[in-house]
Structure 1
């Protein structure tokens, strides 16, 4: 029988810590913290809602992260 796959682990930091940072700095810090995918979005962007382990989403307005969430 094949082994049960182990899902990848997410970094254990809070997405809230990126709010208020310049988007480039936030992305650099997120990748250094272990997030495999970092997505920057404009306010009100229409996105799919599937959850992707290891992805961090940033809502960016005028070059600053205003909201951050996992998935």
Structure 2
């Protein structure tokens, strides 16, 4: 059996939608997210899953979408 990394905090990414980017990042770090990535709408991003990473799609300094990995 191989060891795997935990999938990240028991937190719902949807809770960040609508927040100002800085506030979303502050809350995410306080809830245990280790890696945060903010991208503009339509940006090309790598698809590898990284445990502990929370992704934000940001437009006009507001989180439009959030997802794990």
Is the TM value for this pair above 0.5?
yes
TM-score by length of 2: 0.92
1:59 maps to which residue? Answer: 57
TM-score by length of 1: 0.90
- The structure whose Rg is larger is 1
* Runs (4+) off by over 4 Å: none
Shift of residue 6, structure 1, vs aligned partner: 4.5
Cα RMSD of the aligned pairs, angstroms, is 1.3
Shift of residue 9, structure 1, vs aligned partner: 4.8
Pick closer, same or farther for the CA change 1:68–1:9 going to 2, 3 Å. closer
Aligned length: 69
Q: Could you list the runs of 5+ residues in structure 1 that have no partner in the other structure?
A: none
14, 17, 32: which is aligned to 1:16?
14
Shift of residue 5, structure 1, vs aligned partner: 2.6
